[in-house]
Structure 1
């Protein structure tokens, strides 16, 4: 029942506070339960709020708030039992909406560190003696949507367009190659992920040191200055090559662009500028062949001044090019003779027509120091470029050349050694002028580049103690139960492991293969293309530290550089259930035979197991504390909700429920005093251990188990079939043969006068209304 009160106290850093109710009782609340809309500054002493209290959790100091709103609800007739305002939906406003395939499970803040210590960080038990609960359990897994787990053997290749290969996979089989099965490693991975989420364990597989990147806005890119790296022993410097235009640090050049243009390519997309002004000096520039030239080559050139007919900026255009010392034509009155270095990055965008020539004309060039942090950030940036395109580069025989209308890859994307700066490398630099003169803020490889965010992924994790476990004496519940190895991420491999402590711990849970026991038919499918995760889609991956995500904010407010933002939590692909639609998982491109078209980017899977197929497997466990065994049992049976495993989870494949059918405990004294391996039937005690786990979680995190944020998010994503269709954002109701999902994101994040709606992904527990279709202009598409 809703009550009124005022804020008595709030701690924004620890994300909790107290409400003084009208009855005079103090009610604890967490910032995560405050409903939209609100700003952190609204949460101050004396603010009027409406809330609903719930029963005090065991071990807590009093009642807690289930939800809180600032002020009072404006329309009592439009609220549900949660008190959350819901929009009115009428026939005039109703449009097609959909749910994103993934959302996130929020991490928890410890409310009472002295409670539920078996679910905190501590040393693991030994393996050389029995000190806890040991035994085994039998489990039955039932597929609730089509299920496919790939076998590493039996992969076949089929030749498709232009010599490319389409891969075909079969379902995993047992080592004797006879029985369809789910490998124990797949089960272990899925179960550990759920166990980590529900016990609030560390983010074990987490590249915390990685720095993501974003596209530098074109206006900012114009402020970059061409430069050449100079190394002399341990001293690193930049030679600034600003052409014939005075340096303007942090500003656009006041005259012609710094680098000269070398007209080299016919654009893959026809030039609109040339079409609009075919008689202009810009359109009549001759093309120069760069055959025999390499990136970084020293050269001399004749250049002449050109003005862009549409955008009206000025630049120097190369009309003749020669090796140093070679003869060039005599310059005309409008031409200049210059010396410099060729910057060749390949035809890496569709409308690219020019390469660049870096030069400095008139006097000695300015030289500035190139500090190590800037060099390190450059290496991280090039590594990010290369990781983004690794698979695409491997797939092509000549990735340095365009393929049809598809552009080539940049030189530094193809060449692994490009991530390490060397003497003579050509870069673009962002400069700043300070009290000590010019300084370098960052360097990039191209004129319109990606740029690394200031904060790493690890900097965005909140609370910070959820970083991957690094100390044997302080392991989280998941690392103690499933195992732990020190290090593991690239940035950690450079560190020296501790010599006075163990650096690994074997897990106390072993999971067998799950063998099929009940068949329900199977099918083959050529699947839609699955792309890699896009964590730079910040409106979906990040959320504010205080409050909930809000629509309409600009890119800076929702980006990785904003210290008020944090990672949303653990990524989970939602259960599609009855909403599973073949048009979403099958390739929509049709071949000449009318069947889904095969390419080198999609996959064909064979023997996909239909919903209703059943499997059995065994879990052996040792030395578990009662709350740990309860956590494992809860994770397995999962309240009847759906686990997600195997291939094609974003498309709806891979949902399954698990039921524990037998549970036996080993009595160490009896075992060693008997010739038989006698075990005690403990299935009737299953609920007791689960209840002990739930009580420990409630005591430690300050709310009844069912009301914890992580549990609510898991329920919202994995319990029931959703009411809306599930697919990635796109501009059309039906999947487009050419994809074009990117148009939704282009339209959504538009800025300026015709800004897009800038929709964010709702918190999982609130994500039930869906989002609309958008075109590339940010306009809602009514279907």
Structure 2
């Protein structure tokens, strides 16, 4: 069994976020390749038809349009083009379109969750790095960082990159009093009137903006010891002025990874490195380490100058800091400063960590075909043996959704808006993205991270979803004039209450496959839930409701004649989805229980994974202030109350994100429902069985009605003898509880 996330995070250790996770499945419910039908025929016992859908926006919705040829050729950036997606340029202000591909992606991602499909849409290209400079004693990364760089960075050396062919090497620098490099104070550089230097004090004002700088052909001398470190007391931009020659590398001042600029300048020391030492041999740099570094560059490391947008610090002749490897081994750890970021190495694995390392192998086998694959199709990334399907065409086709309004009163505002700034997801926030087991009680020092042992110690939390934030979320940037233009974008969202119509066509689906599709579509029309679509989900944008009508095609009748009066003959029936949903739920439960999983679960919606999904889809039109507070982003410099903890940096203590089931109970507290015998409650008909049973020498009709009752952990049944029952699946009726034990309502009777 996969490691499970902590069941109750102590209040003092609890984090908040606009997102949460639906836990990983314990197993993948597979589909046998033999069950995949040929695509050139319609089959008996399969279902073909359409689902006519009306989508209603419940919060502002935005899907960006791509660049036109002209816009692309003139170098326009999509972030500066606010148009909603459209297909007819002449009607883009009155007839926006929701692309079918967006609808398909939304539906498929949910089908993957509810059908226990594999987790294979994860790239291992992004590798995870960290640093723990001046980390507190209880920081879980402190010891890991010291193990590689040594106390006070004693393992860190300095040198110069050299490229020979397609290989990279480091030539060590000459030492300074047996030290690989020395420091110099900011005030010393300023006092020397160093040519071209931009002082750190300019980090956040309107003077020339401070950034890391790199100066060659400088000279320095007068080396003194201060608190165990060597400092030069003199420096000049003229290489002939002082005894030592080399380069000056200035501090990043904690800029790397910062969301906001620090109010107070905390770093005031820079580094000096002597020239290369020709008497020392070149040390090779590991090819994989170079590639991992390039794939994981931060925006800070892409600044030009002093870095390269694609290579970072990797440049021929460039000074660099590194950890000296064992003899005969290549350099794997390097960076632009002595306190550089280093890779996470998962316990027992010499390669840099990525998210895929923390997904159990049985959940990410590319060879597996799952229910989502069978419905939506697949193409295997790698060449498969002849006996294995390389690809399979999907059997679900979704049209674009067309706006039904006849005027332009569909926009949130008449002009484009500038939304709050959203940064890229940061999976390196391991206290949120990785399972933290009960055994550590969310204690900071013992948190699991990407250097922990994968699968045994921890796994990824699962599917990431965002909380809804009501029909009128705060999405506009409060002070766009104070933000960098590179971080801002423009949107033209559609307001709540606008209707779109689209059609889902399907062919040759089994009852289980159709049930999986209808399970998701039915949730979308339940008033308790909403789906999420488009951009701005962390801000609460994109909540949508989808109502629908299911039509099944009568394929045999379809070919008995061609016309029906003056139109095509298309025989079809309107159907309820309950039967197919039941078949789907029963199938999934049977597959899981056969594997020894959820053996005590009697209802599909009792599976914790499904409960987590429903929690994340829960809809509140006007959420409380506490709800919104519990679903906001934490901040590095929180400047207003309430604040998580006593430090403005709400991330500092590495608080742990609870499960969505714990969060939903706090943001939407509900009264416990007490069930007792004799109580009258509402029940939803979920199954009707009619059979003839012996009655003396004759037989009699016996009807068993199965109900779903809120608060009951098992189905409730009523037996009716010798009477016809005029009920259909999905009906809601009042029933009286006749037998009940705890939260298990066993027997009920309808109240006429």
* Alignment TM-score, normalising by the size of structure 1: 0.64
Which structure 2 residues correspond to residues 367-406 of structure 1 after superposition, within 5 A?
367=281, 369-370=283-284, 374-385=286-297, 388=299, 400=304
Question: Partners in 2 of 1:138 and 1:125 — Cα distance?
Answer: 25
Render the CA deviation track for 1:400-422: whole Å, top value 9, x for unaligned: 4xxxxxxxx6413x3x2558x67
SS at match of 1:141: strand
Q: Name the CA shift for 1:625/1:151 in 2 (closer, same or farther; >3 Å).
A: same
1:761 to 633, 654, 657: 657
Shift of the 742–499 alpha-carbon distance from structure 1 to 2, 3 Å rule, reads farther
- Change beyond 3 A, Cα 1:734–1:320: closer
Instruction: List per-residue Cα deviations over 1:133-152 (Å, max 9, x = no partner).
Output: 22212111122222222333
Looking at structure 2, the residues matched to 244 and 666 of structure 1 have their Cα atoms a distance apart, in angstroms, of: 87
Q: 1:485 to 1:169 in 2, by over 3 A?
A: same
Contact kept? 1:543, 1:549, Cα under 8 Å: no
Q: Which of these residues, 91, 97, 122, is aligned with residue 206 of structure 1?
A: 122
Deviation at 1:316, TM superposition (A): 3.7
Aligned counterpart for 2:49 among listed residues 115, 120, 135 = 135
Residue 479 of structure 1 corresponds to 373
Measured in 1, the distance between the counterparts of 2:383 and 2:251 equals 38
Counterparts of 1:309-324 in structure 2 under 5 Å? 313-316=229-232, 319-320=235-236
Going from structure 1 to structure 2, the CA distance change for 1:168 and 1:34 (only over 3 Å counts) comes to: closer
Residue in structure 2 matched with residue 558 of structure 1 by the alignment:
448
Question: What's the CA shift string for 1:579-605, capped at 9, x where partnerless?
Answer: x44xx31211176xxxx9995533333
C-alpha deviation, 1:314, in angstroms:
1.6
Q: For residues 451 and 742 of structure 1, what CA distance do their matches in structure 2 show?
A: 29
For 2:213 and 2:51, the matched residues in 1 are separated by 63
Q: Does 1:615 align with 2:507?
A: no
| Residues 139 and 618, structure 1, Cα contact 8 Å, conserved in 2 | yes
- Among candidates 162, 184, 192, match of residue 108 of structure 2: 192
The correspondence of residues 333-412 of structure 1 with structure 2, limited to 5 A, is 337-338=243-244, 340=246, 349=255, 356-359=271-274, 366-367=280-281, 369-370=283-284, 374-385=286-297, 388=299, 400=304, 410-412=306-308
How far has the Cα of 1:562 moved from its partner?
1.3
Aligned residue in 2 for 1:447: 338
Within a 5 Å distance, the mapping from 1:232-247 to structure 2 comes to 237-241=169-173, 243-246=175-178
Matched, 1:227 2:144: no
Deviations 1:678-717 (A, max 9, x none): 5554443521111111111111223331022221111111
Q: Give the conservation status (yes or no) of the 8 Å contact 1:296–1:344.
A: yes
What secondary structure is seen at the aligned counterpart in 2 of 1:447? coil
**Which structure 2 residues correspond to residues 483-522 of structure 1 after superposition, within 5 A?**
483-487=377-381, 503-517=390-404, 521-522=410-411
Match of 2:605 among 706, 709, 734: 706
Q: Which runs of no fewer than 5 residues in structure 1 stay unpaired?
A: 1-13, 16-30, 38-85, 88-92, 158-162, 247-255, 264-270, 275-280, 332-336, 394-398, 401-408, 488-494, 751-755, 772-783
Q: Deviations over 1:720-775 (max 9, x none)?
A: 32651132124899989xxx99999973454xxxxx4x32111111113669xxxx
Q: TM-score, normalised by structure 2?
A: 0.66
Q: Which of 743, 747, 751 does residue 649 from structure 2 map onto?
A: 747
CA distance in 2, matches of 1:765, 1:32: 13
Instruction: Report the CA distance shift for 1:321/1:384 in structure 2 as closer, same or farther (over 3 A).
Output: same
> Compared with structure 1, are the counterparts of its residues 496 and 557 closer, same or farther at alpha carbon in structure 2 (3 Å cutoff)?
same
Aligned-residue offset at 1:486: 3.2
Aligned residue for 1:767, secondary structure, equals helix
Unpaired segments ≥5 residues, structure 2: 135-145, 199-211, 256-260, 347-352, 593-597, 668-752
Alpha-carbon distance in 2 for matches of 1:284, 1:296? 18
Aligned equivalent of 2:62, options 148, 159, 168: 148
Q: Counterpart in 2 of 1:631?
A: 516
Which of residues 497, 522, 541 in structure 1 aligns to 2:433?
Answer: 541
Could you tell me whether the CA contact under 8 Å between 2:221 and 2:235 is conserved in 1?
Answer: yes
- Please tell me whether the aligned partners of residues 638 and 649 of structure 2 are also in contact (alpha carbons under 8 angstroms): no
Give 3-state SS (helix, strand or coil) of 2:324's partner: strand
Partner of 1:643: 531
In structure 1, what is the equivalent of residue 690 of structure 2? none
Is the CA contact 1:225–1:242 (under 8 Å) kept in the aligned structure 2? no
Contact 1:35 1:548 in 2 (8 A): no
Q: Which residue of 2 aligns with 1:687?
A: 578
For 1:466, which of 339, 343, 363 is the aligned residue? 363
Distance 2:18 2:48 in 1: 38
**SS state at 2:496 partner:** coil
Secondary structure at the counterpart of residue 768 of structure 1: helix
Question: 1:102-128, CA deviations, whole angstroms, 9 ceiling, x for partnerless residues?
Answer: 111112113xx8xx654x787743322
Counterparts of residues 412-431 of structure 1 (less than 5 Å): 412=308, 414=309, 416-418=310-312, 424-431=317-324
In structure 1, distance between residues paired with 2:294 and 2:366: 28
Judge conservation of contact 1:511–1:618 (CA < 8 Å) in 2: yes
CA distance in 1, matches of 2:235, 2:637: 47
Which of these residues, 282, 304, 307, is aligned with residue 222 of structure 2? 304
Show the counterpart of 1:21: none
Q: CA deviation at 1:155?
A: 13
User: Which residue pairs with 2:734 in the alignment?
Assistant: none
Q: Is the 8 A contact 2:220 2:234 kept in 1?
A: yes
